Structure 1
Amino acid sequence: MTGRTSPIASAVPGRIRVRHPLLRRADRFQEALGRLESLDAVRVTGSNPAVGSVLLSYDPAVLTPDDARSQVEALLSAVLHPAEAAPPPDAPASVADSTPAAPELKWRINRAAKIGMMGSMAATLAALGVGKRVHAGFGTLFVAFMLVHMTVQRKRLFQ
């Protein structure tokens, strides 16, 4: 799974915890659970769809930890990173070109906005001694980052 983070949050001989943000979606969680339950030497001992977490147990005498990890990662790869389905050949170009923004992109934008808010707030406070214009400039920058954050989180803000 090069270039992607592993869905395995922790692993000790006999136990693997899987956690991934995409497993918070009910359809992906159920599909992952079904695939994980199909493994012979591994059993699901706990799950929490609210946080996208599944706890797996296995007998380390039957299955080595490396084999268990590789089997779990291979099964979850298809659930967490499905191949993009090609649009039908007769679909209009506007439908084929309009793909929704990936949730990971939203998380990255939101994280950058939050870091920007923290940095600009610190700069605003530091600029108090320099002058009003510098202070106001960093304050404006803070408001801009806050607006980006609120735009990304608009569904949660207005529930």
Structure 2
Amino acid sequence: MTRIVASIPGRIRLRDPALRQPAHLERLLSSLGALPAALAVEGNLGAGSIVLRYDAARVPVEAMEAAVDQAADAEFARPRSAYKPSTRVRLNRYAKRGMLVTLGASLALAAVGQKRWHALTGGAFVACLAIHLAVHRRNLVR
């Protein structure tokens, strides 16, 4: 599968969402830097892209594109490490889901006139909101 988004003689840019992971980016940068005729390899973690500059007089564009595709396929064919989110991230996910569910339930119960259940689900919403705000407290007080 080609990940090349731009190619001119002497320069190839490839982009893939997996290149936003530092491990993938570093391994692919090193493997592309080892290609024959490679002059410079630059990666952008935020954009998930790599720019490869090479000596176009030594290697035709098609051959270099094939080598880059092969290196990228070899890197992305590796089994992905099992990402386990931190306890804080998981807690925040549950809090956000809880806010969505309880807000919807609270509004629906208010619409049908169930004041007591509306108040209870509203309280549950506020509890989930408190958890969410506690997780993000560092960003709130800046």
TM-score, reference length from structure 2: 0.59
**What is the identity, as a one-letter code, of the residue corresponding to 1:47?**
N
Q: Is the 8 A contact 1:13 1:60 kept in 2?
A: no
**What is the identity, as a one-letter code, of the residue corresponding to 1:55?**
S
1:57, distance to aligned residue in structure 2 (A): 5.2
1:46, distance to aligned residue in structure 2 (A): 4.9
Matched residues, number: 114
**Structure 1 residues 44 and 138, CA gap change in structure 2 (3 angstroms):** farther
1:154 pairs with 2:128: no
Corresponding residue number in structure 2 for 1:111: 93
Root-mean-square deviation (CA), in Å?
3.4
**What is the identity, as a one-letter code, of the residue corresponding to 1:147?**
A
Corresponding residue number in structure 2 for 1:127: 109
Aligned-partner SS, 1:108: helix
Corresponding residue number in structure 1 for 2:49: 55
Q: Which has the higher contact order (CA 8 A, sep 6+)?
A: 2
**Structure 1 residues 149 and 36, CA gap change in structure 2 (3 angstroms):** same
Equivalent in 51, 68, 71 of residue 72 of structure 2: 68
1:64, distance to aligned residue in structure 2 (A): 4.1
1:33, distance to aligned residue in structure 2 (A): 5.4
Q: Is the 8 A contact 1:120 1:138 kept in 2?
A: yes
TM-score, reference length from structure 1: 0.54
Q: Is the 8 A contact 1:44 1:54 kept in 2?
A: no
**Structure 1 residues 13 and 47, CA gap change in structure 2 (3 angstroms):** closer
**Structure 1 residues 32 and 158, CA gap change in structure 2 (3 angstroms):** farther
1:61, distance to aligned residue in structure 2 (A): 1.8
Task: Structure 1: give runs of 5+ residues left out of the alignment.
Answer: 1-10, 24-28, 82-101
Q: Is the 8 A contact 2:29 2:42 kept in 1?
A: no
